[in-house]
């Protein structure tokens, strides 16, 4: 299962549909805190986190940091529309994180999901179907 976090309702809904179109099971959140609670409650089923950097209260980078305390190898795709966030991308270097700049095309999303999860064979419970 993929957890998706973005506070922009329209963008979150559109991205959720893209993920579903790619054949993955997705659960979407408008804020980091409920996503973190969901990840904690259902650790075994969450194969990938997709999060915006700019979120209210707890930002996406803090969410990633908190998730990595209990799931250090959890694959993550970080998204942003802010040019300054490129500095975070340069420093990621953990082998489990991809970075996408908004707007996001389906091919970019698919490649990022595959790249983030390929190192450890993630998404076993959410592989896209061939149909």
Q: Which residues of the chain have pLDDT under 70?
A: 43, 83-96, 119-131
Decide: 92 and 115 in contact? Cβ < 8 Å. no
What would the two tokens of residue 31 be?
Answer: 């804020």
128 inside domain: no
What pLDDT, on a 0 to 100 scale, did the predictor assign at position 95? 59
The residues pairing with 78 across neighbouring beta strands, listed in sequence order, are: 51, 99
What pLDDT, on a 0 to 100 scale, did the predictor assign at position 41? 86
124 inside domain: no
Q: What is the CATH number of the domain that holds 30?
A: 3.40.50.2300
54 inside domain: yes
The 10s digit of each residue's pLDDT in 34-71 is 999 999 887 678 999 999 999 999 999 899 999 988 88
Number of domains composing the chain: 1
What pLDDT, on a 0 to 100 scale, did the predictor assign at position 81? 86
């Amino acid at each position: 299962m993929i957890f998706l976090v973005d506070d922009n309702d329209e963008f979150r809904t559109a991205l959720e549909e893209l993920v579903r179109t790619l054949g993955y099971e997705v659960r979407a959140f408008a804020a980091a805190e409920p996503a973190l609670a969901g990840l904690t409650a259902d650790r075994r089923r969450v194969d990938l986190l997709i999060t915006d950097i700019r979120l209210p209260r707890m930002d996406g980078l803090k969410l990633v940091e908190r998730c990595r305390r209990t799931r250090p190898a959890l694959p993550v795709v970080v998204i942003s529309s802010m040019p300054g966030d490129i500095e975070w991308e340069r420093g990621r270097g953990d082998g489990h994180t991809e970075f996408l700049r908004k707007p996001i095309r389906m091919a970019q999303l698919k490649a990022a999901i595959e790249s983030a999860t390929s190192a450890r064979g993630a998404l076993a419970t959410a592989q896209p179907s061939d149909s």
